[in-house]
Amino acid sequence: MEAILNGWNSIMTLPERVPVLVYVYLVIGFVLLIKGADFFVDGASAVAKLLKVPSVVIGLTIVAMGTSAPEAAVSITAGLSGSNEIAISNVIGSNLFNLLMVIGVCAAIKAFATDMEILKRDMPVNIGATVCLLIFLLDGKLGRLEGAILLVALIIYLICVVRSALEKRKTNTDDSAEKEEKKLTVPMIILFILGGLIAIVWGGDLVVDNAQRIALSFGMSPMLVGLTIVALGTSLPELVTSIVASRKGESGLALGNAVGSCLFNILFILGMSSVLSPITLTGSGVVESITDTAILIVVTVLMLIFSATGKKVSRAEGIIYICLYAAYMAFAILRCYVF
């Protein structure tokens, strides 16, 4: 009881004075990440159209990678700068947010049917990738070998996805999409891609640096910052995209968007981060990372079971997901200040 009271007092204690510009830079960083990813996706999609790549392949590869670009920028930047807790917790926190909040909010807006291909292929692969991550983290680090394994797994997965998409491309008509893409000229495409990449990298630097300063002022651990502030901010593209799709009556896109982003987060972001600079956790960071990854596995399995039941995600299930995310956030905050 005394520990809980002390933790509550820590939470309610006013933070050390932090310049207002730090908060301004953090917001600017998030804006740069989101808009940079937006421009990058538009430019890359236009290039794919010029190369006659089917739009379904674009959606499963370029767009999925583009919406996860903020997470990639933050985690890779954090890993290279030695902020290993943020690199790991950003991915875990983003995946929990994608599965519980993105899908939960969309289902709460409107129940949607689940795609059988996602249930049979993508969700089991997502579970397997998360289990591999848990195994790799048992020794408290992600080395270059483990990162390479994750990247190879991503390549194999993408080959399977693209092959499946190419087999179905004859059934898709993309006239309207093609007309829309033709509005971008070659100079505009180059500007969108380069400008988007610059904004993503710059935004990642701003988010990591200023989030750390704010965390220290509140007495928060880097792990908690990555799980909350950074994870939520970098997951905004997925959330906004899915909510817009739900309001247009295309809620089913939420499941594929969330699962695809989760896979990319683990296989590419952590794979690339650890290949460039091995990630080593120390002290409580090891236990917290293992615990959070185990929670992520439970959530992913629960998501598979719920999605398979009746082959849909109901509004009630969506509300349950949102409540589970709120409960996890409460646990993460109390863990930082109480335990």
List of residues 6+ apart from 19 with CB closer than 8 A: none
Break the chain into its structural domains and give their ranges: 18-337
Of 41, 42, 94, nearest to 64 by C-alpha is 41
Tens-level pLDDT at each residue, the chain (339 residues): 454 445 545 444 445 566 888 888 888 988 887 787 678 767 766 776 776 655 545 555 666 666 666 777 777 777 777 766 777 888 898 899 989 988 898 888 888 887 777 788 889 999 999 999 999 999 888 989 999 999 999 999 888 887 876 776 555 554 444 444 456 787 888 888 788 778 877 876 787 678 767 777 777 777 777 777 777 777 776 676 666 666 666 555 667 767 888 888 899 889 988 888 888 887 777 888 899 999 999 999 998 888 887 778 888 999 999 999 999 988 888 887 665
Q: How big is the chain, counted in residues?
A: 339
**Cα–Cα distances in Å, from 10 out to 3, 158, 292, 338?**
10, 46, 23, 9
- As a whole number of Å, the end-to-end CA separation of the chain is 11
The CATH number of 18-337, from 1.20.1420.30, 3.40.50.720, 3.20.10.10, 3.40.190.10, is 1.20.1420.30
Based on DSSP, count helices (H) and strands (E) in the chain, helices before strands: 19, 4
DSSP codes joined into one string, 132-146: HHHHHHTTTEE-HHH
pTM for the complete prediction? 0.74
